[in-house]
Structure 1
Amino acid sequence: MHLPPGVWIAALAAALSAVPASVMLVSSARRRAGRRRHAHHLLAAGSALIALTAVAGLGVALTAHSQTAARLIALGMVAGAVTLLAGMLMLPGAADTGATALQHLLDGLAIAGSIWFLGWVLVTAPTRLLGPLTPEECWLLLLPLGVAGLAFGLTTMVSVRMPRPRGGSAGVGAGITAAALAGAGISGGVCQQWSGVVLASALLLPAGLTVIAVAARATDREPEPAEVDTTRRGAAVVFLPMVVLTGATAYQTLRTGAIGTAGALAGCLVLVALVGRQYLALRDVRRGARRLREREAHFRGLAHTDPLTGLANRRGMLRVLTQEAFNGEPCVLLGIDMDGFKSVNDLRGHDVGDRVLMEVGGRLRMHLRPGDAVARLGGDEFAVLMWATEDEAEAAALRLLDALGAPYEQGGGVVFLSASIGMATAETAAGDVETLMRNADLALRYAKLRGKSRVERYRPAYDRTLRRRTTLEHELRGAIERDELRVVFQPVVALPSARPVGAETLLRWTHPELGPVGPDEFIPAAEESELIAKLGRWVLDQACRRLAEWLRDGHDVWISVNVSPRELHAPDYVGQVAEALRTHRVPPQRLVLEVTEHAVATDRDELCRRLRALRDTGVRIALDDFGAGYSSLARLRDLPVDILKIDRKLVVASEPLVDVVVRLGHRLGLEVLAEGISAPAHLAVVTASGCRFGQGFLFGGGVPAEHLAAQLRSPRVPAAISAGQFDADGAAG
């Protein structure tokens, strides 16, 4: 029995109309790259194979036996559909790895096997859903039907699991499913001589291939995900094949009393697919768990590690202290702070500061013993846990001071820093980690209070000292407004006449409850609490006002003001000085700004630039405390200073060094002023060296402006000088 020629011709024409879709896919593949190009090539090849198979099969059906044509169409449709499915899995986002593609394939096989078995049960005896139309001899069409079921299963799993948007990939899958069903319909219709099925399937085929071509182009607008998570969605879908297979098997067993060969084969296929899929899922879960553990370990490490230095951070040190500090072995916690580090950040930038901190961390590692723990607590503050007695830890801390105080060679210059260290033993903390860290911090703060660059052990008395320091910082904030501050002036005299030629401005504070507070207490407190700039502006204004009065009275004097490094680091400090000079109409050369030798050594290059900017306004610069141990005589030539003030310790201790410094200063064109002259013997040493200016208690301490004005009107030589006679050796006679 043959179909009418009109049906064949109509079906053939419909099949031929599928060719343009294949041509569209081929042309679009040329404009793609990477995975997209490979996917389009496979889709084009599969579409072309299906279209040509349909045309060739229908052509054979006109001249040959329909069974032969049906087999040809079935095999060609299976090959084309499989190629299309491979192309779909190559689309970006469908399956990023081979393992993901295999999981999709196994899920699709499970769904296809269960659907195929359900169809088998419904079509064959005893159900015979199609009745007399049951295809008794065309069992080869089961292959394209199975592929259609596989396409449906793969499309379902890919569509469910792909991240949004996924319309293009789902459309490709729907088109493949339609094309596979069309192939099964054409082969079955040819085999059974069903004209309606052949014609409908021939019309469905170009529609399916066109959907594939259009949807494939739409995938170009979808972002390419980094990874497809097969465990994220679609887990419930795997239960569908089991439900379908179980229901069909139960139905067949109840009606026939046996499962049958087809049921056994379908069950084995579904079982193998599900077991394989679950194995892959279990492997993914294990891999995910391993990644999770690795990430957890990584983030735990980050949570306890300082990212800049690679040392432990505060959390890491707290963990070590909690686990190990109170296990009975003697241990000491060192708190370390880098003195003057803020100046490095302010003057040289945070990049240089970060490199210095990295080198500090490296030096700490190099100078610790095995088993000791080191951490960066934050900023320029570090901590070291040592397994040692207090004496052993102190000796190690002194070695750390030397290591951390060495110059730091950085691009653009050398950075000089020192360190302060506070120590606390575990016995002082009574088993509490926070108390141990607080005790070490108190000892560290006390070390900074006592002059920095030193090691201090924790003592309970430090609590009282630091409570007073906190009180001073609080009360100092309103000291100017409450009129508790005053300036006094210590005379500077010409030598050997002892005639006053200038004065150094000194700040004094008398609190109504605390009483007189010394500068060695409130100046460090002002620097730590950022009040030093406010106090400096007030002192500069008072000094210029007094100097203007003395100059109007006809006194030939100059006045000096101490400047802290933090004031010099302020970008507007040069403007403040110029404004004070303009306000009080003071000649700039009458004002001397004093900077300490330690401040210059902290960041020499940047500070020299700031000092040159100040000298451009006309003021003079004095290097205070020269000889305290920081600067080099060889580098003195490069400093933009006008006056060299010899430190009191040098004046008292070494006559030859005073002579050397005075000669060198004069050779460099600097005025030299000797500080700390408090006895006639000191005066004899300074005078013999040729020093032209002196300062010290021998000539008077800090006095109010009115008293100094009286000295300027009627200068008197101190009795200790006028009554003394000096022999040739400089000793008092």
Structure 2
Amino acid sequence: MRPTDESVRSRVNVAQAIVAPLPWAVMTTGLVVNEITKPAADVKTPEVVLTSLAIFFPLLVLRLALVSFLHPGRRTTLLLLLASIAAWSVGSISVNAARVDGQTQFPAPGEWLFLLSYLGMAGYLLRDVDRRQSRPARAWLDIIIICGGTACLASLLLVTPVRAVSHQEGSSLLLALIYPMADMILALVVLGQSLLQTRIDRRKSWMTGMAFVLLAVADSGLALQGSATTYDFGTLSYALWGAGFSLLVAAACRPAQTVIRAVPRSGDTFVLVGAGVIALAVLTVRPDQTLGYYMLPPAMLTLAAVGARLALALRDANRANDAFALSQTDDLTKLPNRRAVRAWLSEGLADRTPLALMLLDLDGFKEINDSLGHRAGDTVLMLVGVRLREAVELPARVARLGGDEFAIIMRTTDEIELMETAQSVLAELAKPISVEGIEISPAGSIGVTVAGPGDQDGGEVMRRADVAMYQAKNSGLGAALYDAELDEFTRSRLKLAEELRRGIAEGQIEVWYQPQVDAATMRVCGLEALVRWRHPTQGVISPVTFLPAARRAGLMGKLSESVVTQVVDDLQARHEAGVDLNVAINCAPPELLGPTFLPHLFAAIDRVKVPPDRLVLEVTEDSFLADPQHTREILLELRDHGVQISIDDYGTGFSSLAYLRNLPVQELKIDRTLIGDVATDDRSRMIVASTIQLAHALEMRIVAEGVENAADLAALVAMGIDEVQGYHIGRPMPPWQIDAWLSERAAADRELVPSPSAASETELDRPEQERKESR
């Protein structure tokens, strides 16, 4: 839009806002002046009213014109209302102008303008709706029923009193009632449109409907006069007309609403039945013959519409029942489907009846589809459904959840009975079937869970059965009861993962350190960094508890970065304090091979300027097996940055030194499972001794972890182990505690006097690398 167009629209919008309250002000002023000047003999009331009308209606027309300019999409609709207001204003001014010199006979020449105005307002209402909403046949029937029923009710409550007061009959009575009846019909149209959800702005609908009600009350004043042959309007009638038209225009000028609201339909049946009862009452009671002439067609039309609407409702109900049944039936096997199972579970949990759920998943079904085609797979599924129904007895229910998954719901909580039923189902399922000329013996895995007293959600019961089914599949047992200890997806563990996510962001992760000592000198030569979580309510939590949750939630990357940052900061602090020790950091294969860990590690080293060779990155053997080439590239990159590499948990995985020949590995760490029996078990001692010799031949440092007693320590030292670590040396400690421990250990080492069998002072003071080279 050009700037000039925008400025014009802005000015028009300001003008519309200024004009909006003026009709109300003019109407109020005119009525007040009319009341004040009534007693004066030289002032005629029609002249005051005529002056007010000459200002009031043009202001309404001007406001509609301004709004139609601002909203081109609604222009035709607003112009229809503008033409209706203009026609009414001309007719009203004509009638009141004729009253200046005396009484005017009813009907006056301007009456045709009033009738024309009602046609325009009806057209406005039909266009002023949301075109996106559909209007099926039942919707129009609803409108006919509501309008016809209300017309019949109005005949009982309005026509009889008007006839009694006005003493009119026939066409005179009909002419006197045509305006209030037209107003009520237009109000009913607004009500019907609201019920059909074609009017989405409730406030606008209320304002429009109220406007026609005010007009109906005002127009009834003429019919309720003692004589319906002259015009004799009071101040109240003028006030109601003015308020009605002002409210109608104000509603039309409201901005269009774009959000579709669902209108409750709970009361529709009552309204439709009530309209039919009223129409039937009109046909049967009929207070007088004249009333019967007028109201017989609307009453008959209303009853016919009610009958048609009931027929449609009955058809819809039958279709809904059929659709509901189809929605809960599997197309292939004709068994109930997942929706039906959820409904059964919800019903059983609500009634607190004994309830158990079995989930069956076929083993190797994909191979059947891939080898024989989906047609053969469908045949297998249908036959499986038949066998499941034959394998269980009523009141057990069988359903197909989808794919190759089936469900069995039983009304019992006896776990022994459930497992016996599961085994019998598997036995029945394993009987050979012939498909495409090939005999197939289907197999499956069944997960069983029992609904507990606290269960309220069928989805949770299905989840537990699904977990049990995968437990049965992984264990190869065929059937398994749900075991919460093996459930990695419980709510508590999900909550733990979310708390860990928040804990990492809030700095609740701590790094503790376990000392490593040189086996020859028993001096501290390094530390291993171990992660701990200081939970705000549970205290310090071991990594065994939260690392599985971190892996499942994808938090290992952020956790590793937090550990690296703390380790590097602590290393720098010790380096500045004169404590020169290696620090080992554990790194799982996904993080090692991922794109973010190494850049974060190198950035942390560069930030604090610590010697990179004081960092030892511990990686497990499965890192090499997962992606050997990528792992080799990463290790070479670490070597280029000066970081040492240690193979952690050696002896639990592939356990071969062959893949280490061309890799920049400086250290091997023998797992505690081999260290624990080294003092008493000859086979363990031989394995450890040979590993030490091979590692030294490859010029690699070798560390024993998990040293728990003095006997194992002595045996390892005798074998030539380089470094040892374990509870016998020192437990993991937080940073402030390990620093104090190191100080005490250093002071104790300085006071030691070497025995004759020990190495000389000069030998102990030699650098570690020189000692290794001398060996």
Tell me the TM-score normalized by structure 1: 0.49
Greater relative CO, 1 or 2 (CA 8 Å, sep 6+): 1
